């Protein structure tokens, strides 16, 4: 029924599209669709256009197949946050550069990353963590140490401002102490996930400037972290070039040496368009659709933080009825398995229909569980385009128009 795809070890759909799979196979369980061409396009975009080094935030989607695609398209550095992610990338991409960017790590994990896997870059946000890194690496003299600053997440859809980061009152002393232990000193931050304006980075760079002046240190690396957005219903961001321009302008104005490097840690922006799922409607109750994936599967974000993903009805012929807002219930017995949406679909959507839910390459596969015995391991390669894109020229023109209105 499927032909084997030798490069990735996954099936290639005979119809090569979401609609073709839904109509040809009539799958009983959810089917994950992956689009290698979309991930490759995103990787090339960052490698070619970001004015510095792009390292992939592995937590967004740790699929070995995706890691290989990014590597093949020029991404050589990987932001790892745990020993298991260190091992995964080292095993999948033996020549990749590992950067352990979680600010709180087990001492054993630091030692193993350094001595067994060649990791030389670590982040920290406290004196305790600095001491831990020095101990674990036995006072190594080849470390790149990045001090994470606390910055605002006010422009992001998902805050990352409260858990990590040195505040203004402690940043100066921490930078000075880290400078003594580091071969290369970096400053990093994270503006939050899905930052909707480049201003988020401009404001964070002002914090970086203040910290450098306060500590009076030479900084070798400025890492602007993640937060680069993707396109979702009701969350259509400006073009990514606008973010890159703002970051480059701010970087160029910092009091740093001419040889300092600019880094970024895109996660969502590199993988959101890589994957979607096909689900079946099992029941309709008014404006509620019971589907066969949900909060404990690929739709964790839709349930727990109210994320709205693009949806489309997959039928032989398009519906002629107007769209209406629906909410979803997933397949488990849990009331928490609820996705409020709203998700706009034709008003005649009914049990037995198939839907594609898009932009799930970021965090969708990473958050899956097998709770209540639901789920599916079927993954199929397709070559149709993702449901939204910041990398296709026509979509980027629409985004530009949205910004200038």
On whether the CB atoms of residues 335 and 319 are closer than 8 A, the answer is no
| Among 265, 289, 323, residue at a domain's last position | 265
| Among 265, 283, 313, residue at a domain's last position | 265
On whether the CB atoms of residues 50 and 78 are closer than 8 A, the answer is no
Domain presence at residue 392:
no
| Among 211, 245, 265, residue at a domain's last position | 265
Q: Quick one: 71 and 180 in the same domain?
A: yes
Q: Quick one: 248 and 283 in the same domain?
A: no
Domain presence at residue 232:
yes
Number of domains in the chain: 2
- List, in order, residues 6 or more apart from 258 with CB less than 8 Å away: none
Average pLDDT across each block of 10 residues of the chain; the chain has 405 residues. List them in order.
40 71 93 96 97 96 96 98 97 98 96 97 96 97 96 57 74 94 96 88 93 93 94 91 96 92 96 95 97 86 85 93 95 86 95 95 76 77 93 56 34
Beta bridge partner(s), residue 53: 263
Q: Quick one: 224 and 319 in the same domain?
A: no
What whole-number distance in Å separates Cα of residue 253 and Cα of residue 116? 38
On whether the CB atoms of residues 77 and 53 are closer than 8 A, the answer is yes
Domain range for 254 is 51-265
Domain presence at residue 388:
no
Output Rg (C-alpha) for the chain, integer angstroms: 22
What whole-number distance in Å separates Cα of residue 156 and Cα of residue 143? 31
Q: Quick one: 116 and 256 in the same domain?
A: yes
Domain presence at residue 188:
yes
Q: Quick one: 292 and 246 in the same domain?
A: no
Q: Quick one: 241 and 303 in the same domain?
A: no
- List, in order, residues 6 or more apart from 193 with CB less than 8 Å away: 156, 157, 158, 160, 226, 227, 268
pTM: 0.89
């Amino acid at each position: 029924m499927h032909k084997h795809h030798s490069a990735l070890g996954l099936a290639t759909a005979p119809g090569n599209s979401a609609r073709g799979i839904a109509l040809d196979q009539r799958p009983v369980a959810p089917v994950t669709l992956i689009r290698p061409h979309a991930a490759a396009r995103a990787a090339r975009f960052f490698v070619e256009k970001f004015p510095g080094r792009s390292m992939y935030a592995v937590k967004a989607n740790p699929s070995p197949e995706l890691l290989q695609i990014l590597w093949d398209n020029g991404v050589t550095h990987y932001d790892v946050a745990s020993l298991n992610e260190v091992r995964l990338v080292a095993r999948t991409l033996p020549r990749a550069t590992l950067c352990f960017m979680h600010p709180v790590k087990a001492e054993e994990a630091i030692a193993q990353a350094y001595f067994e896997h060649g990791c030389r870059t670590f982040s920290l946000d406290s004196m305790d963590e600095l001491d831990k890194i020095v101990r674990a690496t036995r006072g190594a003299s080849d470390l790149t140490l990045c001090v994470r600053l606390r910055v605002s997440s006010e422009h992001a859809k998902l805050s990352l401002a409260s858990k990590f980061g040195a505040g203004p009152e402690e940043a100066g002393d921490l930078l000075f102490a880290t400078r003594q232990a580091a071969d290369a000193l970096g400053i990093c931050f994270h503006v939050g996930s899905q930052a909707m304006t480049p201003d988020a980075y401009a404001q964070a760079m002002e914090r970086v400037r203040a910290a450098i002046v306060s500590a009076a240190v030479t900084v070798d690396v400025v890492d602007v972290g993640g937060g680069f957005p993707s396109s979702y219903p009701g969350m259509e961001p400006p073009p990514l070039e606008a973010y890159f321009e703002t970051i480059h302008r701010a970087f160029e104005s910092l009091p740093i040496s001419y040889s300092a490097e600019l880094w970024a840690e895109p996660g969502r922006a590199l993988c959101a368009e890589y994957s979607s799922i096909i689900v079946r409607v099992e029941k309709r109750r008014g404006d509620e659709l019971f589907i066969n994936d949900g909060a404990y599967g690929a739709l964790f974000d839709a349930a727990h933080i109210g994320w709205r993903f693009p949806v489309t009805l997959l039928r032989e012929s398009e519906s002629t009825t107007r769209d209406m807002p629906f909410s979803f219930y997933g397949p488990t017995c849990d009331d928490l398995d609820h996705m409020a949406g709203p998700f706009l679909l034709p008003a005649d959507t009914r049990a037995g229909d198939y839907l594609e839910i898009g932009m799930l390459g970021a965090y969708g596969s990473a958050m899956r569980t097998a709770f209540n015995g639901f789920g599916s391991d079927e993954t199929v390669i397709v070559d149709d385009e993702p449901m939204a894109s910041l990398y296709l020229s026509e979509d980027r023109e629409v985004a530009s128009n949205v910004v200038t209105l």
